[in-house]
Amino acid sequence: MTQDTLTFYKLIILYILDRAAFPITKSQVADFILEQEYMDFFDLQQVFSELTDSDMITAQTIRNRTHLAISEEGKKTLSLFQSRISSSTKNKIDRFFRENEMEMRNEVSILSDYYKSTTGEYESHLVATERGIRLVDITLSVPDEETAAAICDNWQKKNQAVYQQLIEQLF
């Protein structure tokens, strides 16, 4: 991979992260990059690593998901070299966000996990956030792993209805 190609790849990722108005996961970025066939998986991992090492992006792991954000250094770099990204590439990225924003936002704002507690029961931890504000944070204790897993799965599907029911009952 040439240095110019590597630079182009880095700029695409910086543009994606700059375009995201919400936290975005490494896998969401990778899905888009690989679907568009901009680069292969191994080149992508190298680009992520180099961007992180050069402090152009930050990576934070939350519940087995790595969340990425563009840093101030990354924003400065992007503003200097953004003209190297073709308008067709920018349009593809912008269209991707328009078409997938709600699904992507939901994926990173609705979290669930379960674990075995010290009492021997399982606990399902359910969280819903919006714009960085925690709307709901619930931990349910259940007798078995299957129930805990089912609760987490259902939280992904039914979180809005549960939240609405809580609001109606508590206000």
- The answer for residues whose C-beta is within 8 angstroms of residue 59's C-beta and 6 or more apart is 26, 48, 52, 66, 67, 68
User: How many domains does the structure of the chain reveal?
Assistant: 2
Q: Which of 79, 101, 123 is the last residue of a domain?
A: 101
The model's pTM: 0.70
Please indicate, yes or no, whether residues 141 and 163 belong to a single structural domain of this protein: yes
Same domain, 14 and 81: yes
Check: CB of residue 13 under 8 Å from CB of residue 33: yes
Cα separation, 39 vs 33, in Å, equals 7
* pLDDT score for 112: 87
In terms of domains, do 38 and 90 share one?
Answer: yes
Decide which of 47, 66, 101 is a domain's last residue.
101
Same domain, 91 and 123: no
Return the closest-CA partner of residue 104 out of 164, 36, 19, 40: 19
Give me 20's structure tokens: 């995201």
Q: What is the pLDDT of residues 54-112, one digit of tens each?
A: 999 999 876 567 889 999 999 999 999 999 999 999 999 999 988 887 778 767 788 88
My answer on whether 97 and 20 are in the same domain is yes
The residue range of the domain holding 72 is 3-101
Shared domain for 40 and 114, answered yes or no, is no
Residues 68, 127 within the same domain: no
Beta sheet of 122-130, edge-to-edge order: 110-116, 122-130, 133-142
Instruction: Give the model's confidence band at 5: pLDDT under 50 very low, under 70 low, under 90 confident, else very high.
Output: confident
C-alpha 70, offset from chain centre: 13
- CA atoms of 63 and 54, how far apart (whole Å): 25
Whether 87 and 115 map to the same domain: the answer is no
Calculate mean pLDDT across residues 132-148: 92
In the numeric block, the tokens 């936290």 are attached to: 23
Q: 66 and 46, same structural domain?
A: yes
3-state secondary structure of 63: coil
Q: How far apart are CA 54 and CA 94, in angstroms?
A: 26
Q: What percent of the chain has pLDDT over 90?
A: 61
Residue type, 139: T
Instruction: Give me the pLDDT at residue 11, please.
Output: 95
The CATH code of the domain that includes 151 is: 3.30.160
CATH number for the domain that contains residue 20: 1.10.10.10
Domain stops at, among 101, 124, 147: 101
Rounded to the nearest integer, the mean pLDDT of the chain is 89
What φ, ψ does residue 42 adopt, rounded to 5°?
A: -70, -40
